[in-house]
A = this chain, B = another copy of it.
Amino acid sequence: MKKHNFSAGPCILPQSVFQEASKALLDFNNSGLSIIEISHRSKDFIAVMDEACSLALELLGLTGKGYKALFLQGGASMQFLMAAYNLLENKAGYLNTGAWSDKAIKEAKLFGEVLELGSSKDKNFNYIPKGFSIPNDLDYIHLTSNNTIYGTQLREFPTSEAPLVCDMSSDIFSRELDFSKFGLIYAGAQKNMGPAGTTLVIIKEGILGKVSRAIPSMLDYSVHASKDSMFNTPPVFAIYTSMLTLRWLKNLGGIAAAEKRNKEKANLLYTEIDRNPLFKGYASTEDRSMMNVTFNLTNDEHKDAFDTLLKEGNINGLNGHRSVGGYRASMYNALEIESVAKVVALMQELEKKA
């Protein structure tokens, strides 16, 4: 029996993507060759890379708007470093909304001054800082759009002369935004886009070339851009599977359709958390994430009973992160509403038994 997979990432992808990727491992495009044994310089793989980049820009509404899409390696953690290496000459502003922002700040400090624009560390990051002021001498402003660990999500993005740099690893392609507000967007694939092993980077023309340091080739966005993500051998399988997922999203109706599904899933679960006296939400109500719903039992004596229900119900990956505890339902694009309904039913079953 198929499990309901709420894993925070790597996470569920569309079932059709698993099937297509599985077939391509044996025979890709009727070539008689596996997708993982072909040259990345073959026309078949170049077509995959081109389609992945085009789909990413198209789905984000950025086609023809002066952006380049890259598929790199190293995850968001490598981007913490690359963003600073390529963009930080003097001072950058970082909004600290949790562990991932914190790591980004740590790496950026190796390259210049970091101004913390705001922080929600005082309440273990259960809210998004607001109303902070932005000086006008920043090289860029760095944000984390969604915070998987705490279940918070940015709704408003600051306006500034400085380019906005955003880590969208855990909510890219999940909701409509004006993506043309951003100078640099990056996202590890392993939430809404594909398997772990590739990172989407979206760069606006004109934001590079403003730092004076020498940049090693593999850390230099302009090198990767000039080689269309083929400066060296790209992670072929991860990019292929990301392309399949982006195709699936386009067929679903794009980000608008995904957002509608995601809202329905989030509403269903948050409504139950707020109604059911055995549970309480972790994140501040106005900053609740549609992707990662964090919640706790109001009384921990029900923990064993609820965990047993989850196990019997074939629910996978609902444990909260160790720094928050309780539960976390990660409900990325590919998760069906039936899986959320199943968790809600188990919460109600616990209530009846308690």
Residues of A within 8 A of B (CB): 1-3, 5, 7-13, 18-19, 21-23, 25-26, 31-34, 36-40, 73-78, 80-81, 103, 106-107, 110, 188, 190, 194-198, 214, 216-219, 231-238, 241, 314, 316-317
Contacts and interface: CB of A to CB of B under 8 A. Distances in A.
Q: Which 5 A-B pairs have the closest CB atoms?
A: A197-B235, A36-B195, A77-B232, A22-B25, A73-B73
Nearest to A217: B107
Contacts of A106: 217
Contacts of A1: 32
B238 A237 contact: yes
B76 A37 contact: no
B235 A2 contact: no
B74 A218 contact: yes
Contacts of A233: 9-10, 75, 188, 190, 196
Contacts of A217: 77, 80-81, 103, 106-107
**How many copies of this protein are present in the complex?**
2
B10 A39 contact: yes
Given A10-B233, A18-B25, A18-B37, 20 more contacts: A2-B32, A7-B37, A7-B38, A9-B233, A11-B37, A13-B37, A18-B26, A18-B36, A19-B26, A25-B25, A32-B314, A73-B74, A74-B74, A74-B78, A74-B218, A75-B233, A76-B232, A77-B218, A77-B231, A80-B218
Nearest to A216: B81
A3 B232 contact: no
Contacts of A316: 33
A9 B45 CA distance: 13
A238 B241 contact: no
Given A25-B21, A217-B106, A238-B237, A36 B77 contact: no
A96 B107 CA distance: 33
B218 A36 contact: no
A8 B2 CA distance: 39
A47 to B, nearest CB: 16
A34 B231 CA distance: 30
B5 A235 contact: no
A136 B195 CA distance: 46
A63 B31 CA distance: 40
A293 to B, nearest CB: 17
A75 to B, nearest CB: 5
Nearest to A81: B216
A29 to B, nearest CB: 13
A13 B36 contact: yes
Contacts of A13: 34, 36-37
A110 B85 CA distance: 14
Residue with the greatest number of chain B CB neighbours at <10 A, chosen from A5, A25, A37, A231: A37
Contacts of A238: 197, 235, 237-238
A196 B25 CA distance: 13
Nearest to A78: B218
Contact of A39 (B8, B231, B314): B8
A216 B197 CA distance: 20
Nearest to A194: B36
A32 B75 CA distance: 26
Contacts of A25: 18, 21-22, 25
A235 B39 CA distance: 19
